[in-house]
Amino acid sequence: MSLTVRIPAPLRARAGGARIVQLEATSLAELRRALAEGYPDLGAAVLDGQAFASAISVFVDGEDVRFLPEDADLRNAHLVELLPAMSGG
Amino acid sequence: MTTMAIADQVQGLRCRSCGVLQPRDERYVCERCLGAVEPEYDLPSLRASDLRSRIEQGPRTIWRYAPLLPCAEPAQGLQVGWTPLVPAPHLGKAIGVDDLWLKDDSRNPSLSFKDRPVALATARALELGLDTIACASTGNLAGAVAAAAARAGLRAYVFVPETTEASKIAAAAWYGATVVRVRGNYDRVNRLCGSLADDLGWGFVNFTLRPYYAEGSKTLLFEIAEQLGWRLPDHVIVPVGSGALLTRTATALAQLIGTGLVPDAPCRISAAQPAGCAPVTDAVQDGWRAVAAVRSPETIARSLAIGAPADGDASVSVVRRSGGAAASVSDEEIVDACALLALTEGVLVEPAGGVVVATARSLARRDVFGRGERVVLYLTGNGHKGFPLEPELRETIDADPDAFGSAYPEAAR
């Protein structure tokens, strides 16, 4: 399944300046692997071992991945948003 | 709009995660690890006696602390800060705290402490030449951004959950802000703003201006220390939404001691959250574990309904290092505490203030406070903005003394 991945401005230099990249993944593990292999610089910033780094928030079709099971099925998913982990207001 | 010279005491932005010092440019997160970046000051160059004199001769606003802030005061801004610090003996007696004080920060221009961080964010927006400021808000920040924008001649867009109190939405709209109501809770609003922030070229105060915005929260403890005669309280109790106020209280503490403005003494920092959204206080009480986000916050204290707090883990760390404690309190305890505060001290706060009072009561029951310990409660939002519950009132009467006498028999005593 092709996922559209939105890259936040502070990370775009790590993705060749792209605002959006397309990745093939049907699970969170595959998504992380695709990031690490397709965009190693980007992967180094957003991954911490086998997990997403705590400084990044990751949403799949609007759902925070922290609330998704590790084996969540992404075959029908479309949009992945990467955002610096910031909140409060 | 013009500003004074850029604050020259800031040496750069230091990443809280990886420690790298970076230029003070338009970045708002660490370029290396995406960690939070914070202004770093040349503290050794600030001699205590000179600094104290400079502060005491300054305006009765947050800008008296300009040497410890990352932006210079704009030419035209609201009168933010220097809010009352008052003893609260009646409340103290009622909840079992010997020496209790209230930092009544509900008395800022838009009636919440958010005017402080927004003053810094607005100053930074003006430095950068931006024409629009914006925010994701649970309500109070929306009002603060709207008011500051009006004063500074900027455009404002404020994004709020659809469930935000009508009175808070109305206030932001009357200040001239465009109020964008969004389906879902605060965390959804936050995600939307995070997605928009990079590409609109606006100053999102709690995203793209966050390193400056968060610094405004230091000024509460600066003021408390000065109002106590340049002494630290023994204990402060801080409401936690994102955790920015609590973590910057720790920064302020370090800067007060580091510059010699106050004698080096312990000041414990404790966290207060509503039970319906308690990711930080639960983490503290579960043995200092990592913060787990709350998916669906449910609390009367809507201004603290942030399920995924940006400074959550950092808050847990601050509480632990300072020797503080934490409690979470039910909606019923929150309402009771608001009523008790109003009844005993004449201060009407929004539910977030009730969270702090109820937490103090809970900690007192746990014997967290030592005998004679000076405890300061942070009251961050005003009850006059619209309390979410109606008080119990008796039937309306005719304008007739007998009607009054029969409806209120207890009045004659």
For the stretch B68-100, pLDDT in tens is: 999 999 998 999 999 999 999 999 999 999 999
The answer to whether domain A2-84 has CATH 3.40.1360.10 is: no
Judge whether B226 lies within some domain. Answer: yes
DSSP A74: -
CATH of the domain at B328: 3.40.50.1100
Number of neighbours of residue B23 by Cβ within 10 angstroms: 10
B185 lies within 8 A of chain A by CB: no
B149 lies within 8 A of chain A by CB: no
Question: Within its chain, how far is the Cα of A81 from the centroid?
Answer: 6
Cα first-last separation, chain A:
36
Q: Where are the beta strands (DSSP E) in B174-331?
A: 178-182, 203-204, 235-239, 268-274, 326-329
Could you tell me which residues come within 8 angstroms of residue B66 by beta carbon, excluding any fewer than 6 positions away? B7, B58, B72, B73
Is A89–B188 a contact, with Cβ atoms under 8 angstroms apart?
no
Q: What is the token pair recorded at B44?
A: 């050794």
Could you tell me which residues come within 8 angstroms of residue B382 by beta carbon, excluding any fewer than 6 positions away? B106, B107, B111, B112, B348, B349, B350
How far is the alpha carbon of B210 from chain A, nearest alpha carbon, in Å?
9
Judge whether B392 lies within some domain. Answer: no
Q: Is this structure's pTM higher than 0.90? A: yes
| Distances B97 to B36, B101, B359, B369 between C-alpha atoms, Å | 36, 10, 12, 7
Q: Over its length of 413 residues, how does chain B's per-residue pLDDT go in tens digits? A: 333 445 678 999 999 888 999 999 999 999 888 888 999 999 888 888 899 999 999 999 999 999 999 999 999 899 999 999 999 999 999 999 999 999 999 999 999 999 999 999 999 999 999 999 999 998 999 999 999 999 999 999 999 999 898 999 999 999 999 999 999 988 899 999 998 988 899 999 999 999 999 999 999 999 999 999 999 999 999 999 999 999 999 999 999 999 999 999 999 999 999 999 999 999 999 999 999 999 999 999 999 999 989 899 999 999 999 999 999 999 999 999 999 999 999 999 999 999 999 999 999 999 999 999 999 999 999 999 888 888 889 999 999 999 999 999 999 87
Q: Where are the beta strands (DSSP E) in B109-251?
A: 132-136, 155-161, 178-182, 203-204, 235-239
Residue A64 has its nearest CB partner, among B33, B34, B293, at: B293
Asked if residues B331 and B274 have their Cβ atoms less than 8 Å apart, the reply is yes
Q: Scanning every residue of chain B, which has its alpha carbon at the shortest distance from the alpha carbon of A54? A: B35
Classify B397 in phi/psi space as left (phi over 0), alpha (psi -120 to 50) or beta: beta
Is B293–A53 a contact, with Cβ atoms under 8 angstroms apart?
no
Domain extent listing, chain A? 2-84
Judge whether B399 lies within some domain. Answer: no
Q: The domain containing residue B275 runs over which residues?
A: 85-110+215-385
Asked if residues A58 and A81 have their Cβ atoms less than 8 Å apart, the reply is yes
Cβ-Cβ contacts under 8 Å between A and B: the total is: 97
Number of structural domains chain B divides into: 1
Residue A29: enclosing H or E segment and its boundaries?
Answer: helix A28-38
Judge whether B105 lies within some domain. Answer: yes
